[in-house]
Amino acid sequence: MRLTIAARTDRGKRREINEDALFAADPCFIVADGMGGHEKGDAASKAAISAFSEEFTAPGEATVQRIERALDEARRRVHEVAAATQRGAGCTLAGAIRIEHQGVPHWYVLNVGDSRVYLQRGNSLRQLTIDHSLRSELLAGGDQQGATTPRNIITRALGSDDDRHDAWLLPVETGSRLLICTDGLTSEVSDEQIEAVLAVGGRAESVVDELLRRALDAGGRDNVTIIVTDVVAGGIEMASLTDAQDDTDDMTLEITRPRSR
């Protein structure tokens, strides 16, 4: 497997501290966003990311079992941070971990909250994750009040009562690109603009720099964290996917994982 990776995090133009955190080293690419308004959002996001950085810098291949272990440890560490505060603390979590499934390289994509994972195949950009936000859930249910609902009302997060994660499994394709980001990017830069930047191509570093520049130029009202991972070689060929797989969401396996107790 040959990957090209670029990652940046920036506190933006309005925030005094950066409550985002990231880890980007094969096989694990993941971001966390400390919950705004809480005393230790930065500590919560760092605690969550540390569970993954420790797990996936240790020897051995990545597996679903190791991912679940890292998630359980991230939950435990964030709850430990929250317990030491008066008002609580928490964070979102989103990312992709490369594993082998039935002898084929796959991305295990996970999400809690409103940070996102996108997949670019050719000129097509697709959001893989589903936002755990009141706005998103209202709109998905056909309630037009969702259009005026603030984006930052999160319905799931590590450190909250509901810290379940959603998970998807999809093949790693040569020539594809993953974009993993916090809402500091997506609240300032539309999907159409993101797609346009990615479609131009170029090195992963250049793409990350351009997306960050656009987020800051648009106001930079939140911390911004971006990871771009390009699959240069070692994945399956895009042409080997059937049209049926390509045209439906069955290309991924969507599972809502219960939190461990």
Does 14 have pLDDT greater than 50? Answer: yes
d(CA 6, CA 67): 22
Does the pLDDT at position 90 exceed 90?
Answer: yes
What sign for the dihedral angle of Cα 156, 159, 160, 166?
positive
pLDDT at 45: 97
Q: In the prediction, which pLDDT does 146 show?
A: 56
- Considering the chain, what percentage of its residues have pLDDT values greater than 90? 75
DSSP code of 36? T
24 alpha-carbon distance from chain centroid: 11
Indicate whether 119 pLDDT > 70: yes
Minimal CA–CA distance to 110: which of 162, 43, 180?
180
For the chain, give every domain's residue range: 2-257
The overall average pLDDT reported for the chain is 88
**Range of lowest pLDDT (99-113, 155-169, 234-248):** 234-248
pLDDT of residue 133: 74
pLDDT of residue 200: 86
pLDDT band at 145 (very low <50, low <70, confident <90, very high): low
Q: What is the pLDDT of residues 170-211, one digit of tens each?
A: 999 999 999 999 999 999 999 999 999 998 878 999 999 999
The pTM of the full predicted model, rounded to 2 decimals, is 0.90
Confidence category of residue 246, pLDDT binned at 50, 70, 90: very low
| Architecture of the domain whose range is 2-257 | 4-Layer Sandwich (3.60)
Q: What is the mean pLDDT of residues 61-72?
A: 97
Which stretch of 97-106, 192-201, 227-236 has the lowest confidence by average pLDDT?
192-201
Q: Is the pLDDT of residue 4 over 70?
A: yes
91 pLDDT exceeds 70?
Answer: yes
User: How much is the average pLDDT of 216-233?
Assistant: 97
CB atoms within 10 A of CB 249: 12
pLDDT at 123 over 90: no
Q: Tell me which of 70-79, 180-189, 234-243 is least confident.
A: 234-243
Q: 261: which DSSP letter?
A: -
Ranking 12-21, 76-85, 150-159 by mean pLDDT, the lowest is 150-159
pLDDT at residue number 260: 40
Q: Are 58 and 70 in contact (CB under 8 A)?
A: no
Rounded to whole angstroms, the Cα distance separating 53 from 76 reads: 15
Is the pLDDT at 256 greater than 80, yes or no?
Answer: no
Cα 126 to chain centroid, rounded:
13
Res 102 pLDDT > 90: yes
